[in-house]
A = this chain, B = another copy of it.
């Protein structure tokens, strides 16, 4: 008999992280065939053209100059007060909603999702997100016995599928007190889509309509992990103002992360931001989240908080940071353009990319295609409905040649299938 000690709810399939595995295989291939001959599009972090992690000088210089005490001391459970203020300032900029806003520190964006999901849903609740989604949403939800359900992200015109969103939103509203939806925008992982301002209006109109039933509680979680690489800093923030003066039973929460915008993935620093028109609901948000902080990880990385605060509070440092980030934003957009343009030229179907770290290629057989591509030394991540290609981690020249390799591999698999069915 196989022995077991874990509680029933704690036993999961013994699978290792697929991204980590493929990334390891890509690195082995690089050692065997040389870096120039491998396209490693598995990694969700900005890499330079030589495949080295980009770490912003304006961020790391700040870190190394911190007094030890600023790194070593415990932080407040909710986050250091100046961190909280700095997060608000850098996140909203000129587009602070007219609302009661609270910020609670978290280990990265993951911790922010955990705080929101745990405190604002019940066991068994369905959580709504799009069919193209970041898979850890499922881990976070299933760990605490919530279930992720999906709507179709795209309609036939390749824009936000409000019909499918509405259908599912209303279906959940019909059977649950709580409607919790995660919208990953701008620069959606894994497709690179950004919800437009008009589409936000439609989402909020629907929410307000459902909110007329005062027994319903609507939570809109905006996973904004890629906002710093999602286009013009002002334009993409306009939709924040739409979160002003919402009905009291609509709570907007935002997952803020330093990982991408500060090239600080390993520091594990983020925050959950609560936006509500009711002060009591804002206070409740604070206390619920702080209790969860204490009960899950206690406080967060103090040094990382200090970096953000120091940069945001000092105009000169902030300008240097913005200038440096601009370089990498430009680099990313040149790479993505190379991939998108080439795909269009050769007729490789990709999902509508607007910004962010990833481009997705829909296909019927992602695992098979992913394996086939490894034979050409191209490493991608297989999703349920396609492949994820990390333009953030691949040089422009490789981004230009990848679409053709992918298309060839698709055609080869297709021809094999036809051949087999003809036998």
Which residue numbers of A lie inside 8 Å of B, CB to CB?
2-12, 14, 17, 20, 44-45, 52-53, 55, 60, 63-64, 68-77, 106-108, 110-111, 114, 118-122, 136, 139-140, 142-144, 178, 217, 219, 248-249, 251, 263-268, 276, 278, 280-281, 283-285, 287-288, 291-292, 294-303
A265-B73 CB under 8 A given contacts A10-B119, A68-B60, A111-B297: yes
A108 touches B3 (CB 8 A): no
**Complex interface: chain B residues within 8 A of A280 (CB):** 2-4
Residue of B nearest to A295 (CB): B143
11 extra interchain contacts, Cβ-Cβ under 8 A, other than A6-B120, A10-B292, A45-B74?
A5-B219, A6-B119, A53-B69, A55-B69, A55-B71, A71-B264, A71-B267, A110-B298, A114-B295, A143-B291, A268-B268
A5 touches B120 (CB 8 A): yes
A300 touches B268 (CB 8 A): yes
**Complex interface: chain B residues within 8 A of A14 (CB):** 283, 287
Residue of B nearest to A263 (CB): B72
A249 touches B5 (CB 8 A): yes
A140-B295 CB under 8 A given contacts A5-B281, A219-B5, A284-B5: yes
A337 to chain B minimum Cβ distance, whole angstroms, is: 26
**Complex interface: chain B residues within 8 A of A142 (CB):** 295
A122 touches B7 (CB 8 A): yes
A4 touches B110 (CB 8 A): no
A82 to chain B minimum Cβ distance, whole angstroms, is: 14
B60 touches A6 (CB 8 A): no
A248 touches B294 (CB 8 A): no
A72 touches B5 (CB 8 A): no
Which of B10, B217, B297 makes the CB contact (< 8 A) with A107? B297
Most interface-central of A178, A296, A299, A301 (chain B CB within 10 A): A296
B298 touches A7 (CB 8 A): no
A139 touches B2 (CB 8 A): no
B10 touches A266 (CB 8 A): no
Q: Tell me the complex Cα distance, A219–B267, Å.
A: 32
Residue of B nearest to A287 (CB): B14
Residue of B nearest to A65 (CB): B64
A267 touches B301 (CB 8 A): yes
Q: Tell me the complex Cα distance, A110–B291, Å.
A: 13
Residue of B nearest to A143 (CB): B295
A276 touches B114 (CB 8 A): no
A288-B3 CB under 8 A given contacts A52-B69, A265-B74, A266-B73: no
Q: Tell me the complex Cα distance, A302–B17, Å.
A: 18
**Complex interface: chain B residues within 8 A of A45 (CB):** 73-74
A281 touches B178 (CB 8 A): no
Residue of B nearest to A177 (CB): B7
